[in-house]
């Protein structure tokens, strides 16, 4: 007798978990993840230039070459700013001089958060900064809706363990049912049982490998975050210097007397791993630069540089006419000089000299009438207008090969 077996298919509730559609909060989070900063120079020689700023990477603006954006304008020489983009806003910080953001002045070390857009003013240069939410990048895999994907997977798994009613014959004989039961009893374990054992073996292997790697210290987290420059500098031999730090960008300023101290400071700063702008004034370097200017004018001088870039010069000239030209040259060509003080002590009036001493080493070898005019002696010494010759004569003027000399109010002319 044939038995009719009609298999039934039970579907458990909540077998497939359907996710809710994307909410507005999820869309807002996606937009914030793609937030970027856009900088546009509005005027000057670089007008129209655009630079993009990514989250977490600070970007510096200034006149020096170590900035990320180098502004070519003389009014920006002492100004320095940094921008940092976060998921919430863009933070603008002043690192040097005075930076104006939307009409608000920021001094050194001050910062200002900015949402949307704004204008950053550095000297005569205006920079428009704004936060831009970009769409997702192309080339990503197309996402299947969560409900459809999970439902399809659930149907496939159910079909594997329990065929559809349409795929079964209308009637099944009883002997066939008993044979099928014996075949199921003798069949090997389903694949999902073997996959579970394999999964446990893989997990145990991964845990053991992770423990070995962790003990090696390769992925050990750094104990501290960014290097704090101010406390470390205060405990070093350079405690008298000033520091302005914003994230991984810092500026060091102050005064050091010798070049050797400056080299030691550079070595110390290189070990911090920060992007540091070294604006320290070195006394020896500045004194040599000032002394070179006086030598061009043929003036013997003693130079002393004090803290803050204040220069004091001692000279001994009969008048201050030439010194006025030196003062103007130093103030225009050396912006690092904060102030220049020239203490001139005129030499004592010597006894009248009847004639020029015939010193073979001081014979005139060449006369240059072009500005700055000077004469060259046979020992390759140069004497400019206003210089005192070893004979005591002062060069009053050099024109068209004629050298006018003065001594004790008496003038004489040498023609070449």
Paired tokens of 403:
């050298």
Backbone angles phi, psi at 130, to 5 degrees: -150, 155
Q: Which residues pair with 131 in a beta bridge?
A: 37
Nearest to 253 by CA among 308, 301, 205: 308
| Residues 317/346, Cβ–Cβ less than 8 Å | yes
pLDDT at 409: 82
pLDDT at 156: 52
Distance, CA of 350 to CA of 312 (rounded, Å): 28
Between the CA of residue 275 and those of 52, 224, 246, what are the distances in Å?
A: 19, 18, 10
| Residues 36/85, Cβ–Cβ less than 8 Å | yes
pLDDT at 169: 52
pLDDT at 128: 92
pLDDT at 348: 74
Nearest to 31 by CA among 131, 141, 139, 138: 131
User: Helix 283-296 to helix 321-333 angle, to the nearest 10 degrees?
Assistant: 140
Please tell me the pTM assigned to this model: 0.32
| Residues 362/379, Cβ–Cβ less than 8 Å | yes
pLDDT at 175: 52
* Ordered domains of the chain (ranges, CATH): 31-131 (2.60.200.20), 229-280 (3.30.1340.30), 283-344 (3.30.1340.30), 360-415 (no CATH)
pLDDT at 19: 37
Q: pLDDT tens digits, residue range 150-179?
A: 445 545 544 544 454 455 454 445 455 455
Rg (CA), the chain: 42
pLDDT at 351: 55
Please state the length of the chain.
Answer: 416
> What is the chain's percent helix, strand, coil content, to nearest 5?
30, 30, 40
pLDDT at 20: 41
The mean pLDDT of the chain is 73
- The rounded average pLDDT for each run of 10 residues, N- to C-terminus, in the chain (416 residues) is 39 37 44 73 87 86 84 80 86 88 89 87 89 57 42 49 49 50 50 61 82 58 55 80 79 85 85 79 87 87 86 86 80 82 80 51 76 82 84 85 86 80
Q: pLDDT tens digits, residue range 256-312?
A: 888 888 888 888 888 777 778 888 888 888 888 888 888 888 888 898 888 878 889
Extract long-range pairs of 153-161: CB within 8 Å, 24+ residues apart.
154/15, 154/16, 158/9, 158/11
């Amino acid at each position: 007798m044939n038995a009719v077996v009609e298999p039934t298919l039970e579907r458990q509730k909540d077998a497939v978990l359907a996710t809710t559609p994307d909410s507005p909060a999820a869309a807002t989070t996606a937009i914030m993840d793609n937030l970027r900063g856009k900088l546009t120079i509005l005027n000057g020689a670089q007008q129209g230039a655009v630079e993009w700023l990514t989250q977490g990477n600070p970007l510096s603006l200034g006149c020096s070459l170590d900035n990320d954006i180098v502004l070519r304008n003389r009014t920006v020489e002492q100004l320095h700013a940094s921008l940092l983009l976060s998921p919430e806003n863009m933070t603008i910080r002043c690192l040097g001089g005075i930076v104006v953001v939307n009409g608000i002045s920021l001094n050194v070390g001050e910062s200002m958060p900015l949402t949307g857009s704004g204008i950053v003013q550095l000297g005569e240069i205006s920079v428009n900064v704004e936060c831009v939410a970009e769409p997702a990048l192309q080339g990503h895999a197309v996402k299947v809706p969560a409900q459809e994907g999970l439902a399809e997977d659930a149907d496939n798994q159910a079909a594997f363990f329990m065929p559809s009613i349409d795929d079964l014959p209308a009637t099944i004989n009883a002997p066939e049912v008993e044979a099928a039961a014996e075949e199921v009893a003798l069949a090997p374990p389903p694949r999902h049982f073997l996959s579970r054992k394999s999964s446990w073996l893989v997990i145990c292997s991964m845990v053991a490998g992770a423990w070995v790697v962790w003990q090696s210290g390769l992925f050990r987290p750094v104990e501290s975050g960014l290097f704090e420059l101010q406390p470390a500098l205060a405990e070093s031999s350079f405690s008298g210097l000033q520091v302005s730090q914003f994230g991984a960008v810092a500026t060091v300023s102050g005064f050091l007397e010798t070049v050797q101290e400056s080299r030691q400071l550079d070595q110390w700063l290189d070990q911090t791993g920060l992007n540091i702008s070294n604006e320290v004034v070195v006394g020896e370097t500045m004194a040599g630069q000032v002394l070179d200017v006086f030598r061009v004018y043929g003036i013997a001088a003693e130079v002393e540089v004090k803290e803050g870039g204040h220069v004091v010069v001692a000279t001994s000239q009969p008048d201050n006419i030439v010194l006025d030209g030196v003062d103007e040259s130093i103030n225009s060509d050396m912006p690092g000089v904060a102030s220049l003080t020239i203490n001139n002590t005129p030499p004592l009036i010597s006894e009248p000299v009847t004639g020029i001493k015939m010193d073979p080493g001081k014979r005139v070898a060449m006369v240059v009438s072009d500005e700055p005019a000077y004469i060259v002696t046979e020992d390759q010494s140069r004497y400019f207008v206003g210089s005192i010759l070893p004979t005591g004569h002062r060069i009053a003027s050099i024109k068209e090969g004629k050298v006018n000399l003065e001594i004790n109010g008496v003038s004489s002319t040498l023609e070449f």
